[in-house]
Structure 1
Amino acid sequence: MAETSLIQGRYRLLDLIGRGGMGEVWRAQDESLGRHVAVKCLKPLGPQQDQSFTRVLRERFRREARVAAALQHRGVTVVHDFGEHDGVLYLVMELLEGRNLSQLLEDNSQGPLDVPDIVDIAEQVADALAYTHEQGIVHRDLKPANIVRLTDGAVKICDFGIARLGHDIGFTSKLTGTGIAMGTPHYMSPEQIGGGHIDHRSDLYSLGCVLYEIATGAPPFDLDDAWAVLVGHRDTAPQPLRSHRSELPEFLDRIVLDLLAKTPDERPSDATALRHRIIAARSISEHPETTGRYGRYGREGRMGRPPALSPMLAHPPSAAGSTSHGHAAGGQDPRASRLPSWTYGMTVGHKATGSSALRTTPPDHTAGLTGEWTTPSGPAGTSAGGYASRERPTPSPEQIAVLNSRHSAGLSLGRLGRWDEAGEVHRSVAAEREHMLGPDHPDTLGSRYEVGFTLSRTGRTSDALREFVRVTEGRERALGPDHPETLAARQETAYVLGQLGRHFEAHEVYAAVLASRERTMGPDHPDTLRCRHNLAFNLSRLGRIEDSYRMALEVAEARGRVLGANHPDTLVTRYEVAYALGMLGRWTEALQTYRDVAAGRTHALGGDHPDSLAARYEVGISLGRLGRSAEALDLYRGLVDDRTRVHGPTDPETLRARHGLGVNLGRLARWEEALAESRDVCAIRERVLGPDHPDTLVSRREVAVGLGWLSRWSDALAVYRSVAESRERVLGPDHPDTLASRNDEAHCLEQLGRGGEAVELYRRVAALRQQREAGRP
């Protein structure tokens, strides 16, 4: 944009503050209100750019602006306005006069800050985070460059551009499939790295990293290799601050180390509790009786007003020629090949520096649209998004903000597993958004999408299907059939069809979505590969095991090429490859593949991660199928111990591992032990899951198997018959599992010398099976 350009007849650009790879930041004059502001402008995208990318970038920018504009707190940068002018997206913010913490460190020759400054900054940041977390917003990329100290001593958090409402963490997380949020490695929490659930306590960990750096001059894991930094966060205890700087007060050391706890539950419960702790500790340290106890801080007390500094924006631009990989442009970092692909977009530098690239987040192919453009640019009566506004009054920003907040609350309830309550919130918000914005507005459809998701999680699969079909139709009308949001809804429709056992219909939907994704995004786009993975999974449910195996193998190879061999998405698909190999009877290959997946997951996610434990379980299944029951037994004993420690003795997965242990005891002819184990597991499953739950019935059948091998056929018959009756009641008389149980019952009758009854039951089962086969399309 040219100097002195006037945006929307209101914002006159005066001085270029910074320029980065994606745009520019200008000091500007708000002609309407007569004040200076900062205007962040994205580079205009030329006609050579992919149109899908351009649409998504606009939507993502709008979403970023809505999130930021809803925040009103002295510790958060104020966003005044946003919109589009002559094809350029812009964001209008308050103009900050101050220096970010990275620059303050640089000003101090990378030396640490004074203790009073550190404690004051910690308190103010904690106060701001307490507010944003109450709004349901997690920053996810808190670092020194995103925290500005103003000339009057106030502290502001900047750049909520990659914050997410609820569980939606955008395109970069979709590259991982496990929730890993793109951030800066030196300040990422272990749960961000491991793909675990991310909440407000992840920001507290990042704050701990920031405080560690401004207190010691270096972040807690000060390494040049991004992967080494990530592993440090996940596995290594940080050195106490006082080991680097002995005059630091003990309370500050304790607070920072508590913030850097590896698990969220070990950290302070929230930012409010953290702020109160800081205030209490500071009050004690400033009391006259404590003078000298905490060294320099006890003598000097609170920080005075810092000297006046030149105006600057929240995110300072990087120097020309810098790259996002931390090495010179044009050169190839020899370490890059050793790093997971999902770390390539992270800053790999020695530590935070005084300049950071002016950037926008990558395009978000999963985020919903959020509200209208502030400034219309279409025909009269129509917003820039193309939604007619003449028939209903334009909602106020306050109304939009309230609904956004309630939407966020619904997402938070879902993260807590309170799906019924989440569904009620989303239904209420959807109804109000429909009344206020219209049925096909992206926000309305976004709420409807969440309604469908909560319905699927609460077992109301048919209702979820209707909701997803409705969302798909609305998005096709509003956004077009090939829009990423439309495809996301169609793909969720296919998933729910699969849940309902309608795998042929699911296959048709998956195939159509895949064709669209390949056409608009390319064959190796992560969303395309995710759809191909789902299609491979569905093929196996259709009995097309060879086709499923070939497709899963292709997807695993593509994901390995694009994301890396140990990326969680790659390992998920390799897991599916192993499953198909087992279904094809190729158990030796399946065993090796499951072992590779288990090793990869342990390396990437940790040994106690549920996915790592699930892969170990499948290794045990494969060993048993190969007749290596002694090895399987040892594996299951260790798995039971780990599952019990991590999830508890009555968790369904702990019981599944115990079931495997009992089965292999039987295979080793240790039937008394096998029977005791099966009875114990069956009793717990009946109490925890219910008497007719499929897992309970599997355990009850295993009890009958043990009784039979111990020649207690009368007892076995009673148990087999009870399993058959339960399955008939729940699944129907001609379900394959019911028919298998009736065959078990007939076998028992034979063993008891009741051949006539056995023959009659075998005939009945055969007739039911023929009827079932005849009725199959």
Structure 2
Amino acid sequence: MADTRLIQGRYRLLELIGRGGMGEVWQARDESLGRRVAVKCLKPLGPQHDQTFIRVLRERFRREARVAAALQHRGVTVVHDFGEHEGVLYLVMELLEGRNLSQLMEDNEQHPLPVSDVVDIADQVADALAYTHEQNIVHRDLKPANIMRLTDGTVKICDFGIARLGHDIGFTSRLTGTGIAMGTPHYMSPEQIGGGHVDHRSDLYSLGCVLYEIATGAPPFDLGDSWSVLVGHRDTAPRPLRSHRPELPGFIDEIVLDLLAKTPEERPADAKDLRRRIGAGRVTDTPAAGTAPPPLLGHGGGEPGLPSWTRGMTSGHKAVTVPALRALPPDLTAGLTGEWTTGVDLRGPAPVRLPRPERPTPSPELLAVLTGRHNAGLSLGRLEDSYRMAEEVAAARSRVLGAGHPDTLATRYEVAYALGQLGRWTEALQTYRDVAGARVQALGPDHPDTLAARYEIGISLGRLGRSAEALEQYRALVTDRTRVHGAADPETLRARHGLGVNLGRLDRWEEALAEARDVCAVRERVLGPDHPDTLVSRREVAVGLGWLGRWSDALAVYEQVAESRERVLGAGHPDALASRNDQAHCLEQLGRGGEAAELYRRVAALRRQSGAG
């Protein structure tokens, strides 16, 4: 691919940024949307493969790529597009600014990463795996090179589906005489090595290997040759992490050793359970005797004046880009008190009132606490608790940073979201409006965060039944999104979707149907036919057809949406079940009650089965 500069007349290859066993990764420019992307070009198929095999492989590639493109989570790399160009299969992905964990280790001269980084990476990867495993998707090749740490601290998993393709194509070597696919031996689970059944717990084992390496500086079985490594996975108990590095928290040592259990049944039940244990450990764990507490990221030693729950917490990123849902337990719902915001020196043996100007420069430690409280509020299970904490953190950030600071506005945005979730839409609307106005002043009218707040204003107006105002809100937003980001940008299309929904609420169904069809066509071209946003638009087309009394046409579209969701998500996924319910309702409208009743029974059985599983 080195001499190919333009793929499919759209993706301009600019710079080779990676090369491995599967092929090459290029930094590229999407000429249609004017954005930078990463293009992974898989190795071309050689003459040793017959045409039947190649056809099967291409279909497998399309299926895996569609699955990867359907994943929508902050911890998973976004797949924008895929296809084949001059015999080469390619994936178009978001371009990530950062370093993978293997590179971070190299940058650190193979020394282990800071304790706070290890804990944060474990938490974020567990969150992403919890999501993907709920979609019944197993990565199968989790390793440091497939986990990216972005410049803002976000952690993303890359290459879902690619491992199985590599096995099919034959890029992975095989152990002579064993028939065992090598993959990446340092991170393979015992069941992978033995050719047994592989499920989500294999990913948990691989994560344990990754965490062991970034915490100690070497994988758990860092032996001389591949065979010895595989035997180590199968037969040898790993040494405790704190025998390599005594300052590691006890809970990390225990969790990683549990992940490295030889049989799947002995490992944590799932990634959700893993996140719960990490969250609990961050709060309750104490350092090993004779060791210092883990430092805050980017600072020296821990601050003895800070409360115990801040131990190991990273100083975070600006709240406008903070990954949500840090796992913190419910007992952290107590609000910020004056000691955090009124100039009390927390470092001495007793609080001492300090003289302060009107607004002093806050310490990094204080900002870390505020960021941690912001994140904690996002993870609370009860909406009332999330709302209360967001209110308190917004007030504290306003005192420390100022009412118009982007971090203060990020927390006020969360206040508005919690109000909406609680059904308090009038208050949510006013708060979103306040945030949008303040963001215009602080960030500018075209900043993505300003535009995001304007979108939520439209949502709130619609929820309040003020659809005419919502319609005008979305019209203006579509105009500005198109000017700033382009007509085919996903956020522009999301605003257009909101516009179409409110046309329907105003009984302007012909216009709503036309808008839904147009948005669906663009989303299909830009995002793919099975992308969740495309399917939402396709369902909106069916809704419009139904309201216009065109039930036969609506039924065909509902069936198409249901089949796509079942193919990508599985028959028991809530979205797939909802689509089958739509289909059954449509059958009722057509007078086909027997078929509708049978479909309703099938949906009910699948729902019970999914609940039992």
2:149 match: 159
1:206 match: none
Return the match for 2:593 from 615, 629, 636: 629
Counterpart residue identity of residue 410, structure 1: G
Counterparts of 1:440 and 1:432 in 2: how far apart (Å)?
A: 13
SS in 1 for 2:488: coil
Counterpart residue identity of residue 412, structure 1: S
Residue 255 (structure 1) shift: 4.8
Is 2:186 aligned against 1:214? Answer: yes
SS in 2 for 1:543: coil
2:388 match: 424
Deviations 1:507-559 (A, max 9, x none): 11111111000011001001111111111111111111111111111111111
Larger Rg: 1
Return the match for 2:499 from 535, 553, 569: 535
1:479 match: 443
RMSD over aligned Cα, in angstroms?
5.1
1:407 match: 374
Counterparts of 2:582 and 2:424 in 1: how far apart (Å)?
A: 30
2:144 match: 145
SS in 2 for 1:523: coil
Deviations 1:644-671 (A, max 9, x none): 33348xxxxxxxxxxxxxxxxxxxxxxx
Is 2:443 aligned against 1:436? Answer: no
SS in 2 for 1:607: coil
Return the match for 1:618 from 574, 582, 605: 582
Mapped contact 1:564–1:570 kept (Cα < 8 A) = yes
Mapped contact 1:132–1:138 kept (Cα < 8 A) = no
In structure 1, stretches of 5+ residues that fail to align are: 1-18, 24-42, 54-88, 101-120, 148-156, 170-180, 189-209, 222-231, 276-363, 371-388, 649-777
1:550 match: 514
Deviations 1:286-319 (A, max 9, x none): xxxxxxxxxxxxxxxxxxxxxxxxxxxxxxxxxx
2:419 match: 455
Q: Give the 3 Å change call, closer, same or farther, for CA 138–145 of structure 1 in structure 2.
A: same
Mapped contact 1:137–1:163 kept (Cα < 8 A) = no
Mapped contact 1:136–1:412 kept (Cα < 8 A) = no
Is 2:512 aligned against 1:569? Answer: no
Return the match for 2:264 from 257, 266, 285: 257
Q: Give the 3 Å change call, closer, same or farther, for CA 480–622 of structure 1 in structure 2.
A: same
Mapped contact 1:139–1:163 kept (Cα < 8 A) = no
Mapped contact 1:143–1:187 kept (Cα < 8 A) = no
Mapped contact 1:130–1:270 kept (Cα < 8 A) = no
Deviations 1:174-201 (A, max 9, x none): xxxxxxx66332699xxxxxxxxxxxxx
Counterparts of 1:579 and 1:595 in 2: how far apart (Å)?
A: 13
Residue 419 (structure 1) shift: 1.1
Mapped contact 1:220–1:239 kept (Cα < 8 A) = no
In structure 2, stretches of 5+ residues that fail to align are: 1-13, 19-26, 37-96, 130-138, 164-181, 207-225, 238-258, 283-317, 325-355
1:98 match: 109
Counterpart residue identity of residue 249, structure 1: D
Is 2:473 aligned against 1:509? Answer: yes
SS in 2 for 1:184: coil
Mapped contact 1:452–1:463 kept (Cα < 8 A) = yes
Return the match for 2:321 from 364, 367, 371: 367
Q: Give the 3 Å change call, closer, same or farther, for CA 644–144 of structure 1 in structure 2.
A: closer
Counterparts of 1:137 and 1:447 in 2: how far apart (Å)?
A: 25
Residue 249 (structure 1) shift: 2.2
1:185 match: 160
Is 2:271 aligned against 1:270? Answer: no
Deviations 1:146-167 (A, max 9, x none): 59xxxxxxxxx98354754xxx
Paired positions, count: 387
Identity %: 35
Mapped contact 1:598–1:615 kept (Cα < 8 A) = yes
SS in 2 for 1:608: coil
Q: TM-score of the superposition, structure 1-length normalised?
A: 0.43
Mapped contact 2:569–2:576 kept (Cα < 8 A) = yes
Q: For 1:115-126, list aligned pairs within 5 A.
A: none
Residue 126 (structure 1) shift: 10
Is 2:359 aligned against 1:392? Answer: yes
Counterparts of 2:189 and 2:503 in 1: how far apart (Å)?
A: 55
Return the match for 1:580 from 534, 539, 544: 544
Counterpart residue identity of residue 394, structure 2: A
Counterparts of 1:622 and 1:540 in 2: how far apart (Å)?
A: 18
Mapped contact 2:439–2:450 kept (Cα < 8 A) = yes
Residue 448 (structure 1) shift: 0.5
SS in 2 for 1:159: strand
Q: Give the 3 Å change call, closer, same or farther, for CA 52–159 of structure 1 in structure 2.
A: closer
Counterparts of 1:390 and 1:237 in 2: how far apart (Å)?
A: 52
Mapped contact 2:487–2:493 kept (Cα < 8 A) = yes
Deviations 1:590-611 (A, max 9, x none): 1111111011111112222211
SS in 2 for 1:482: coil
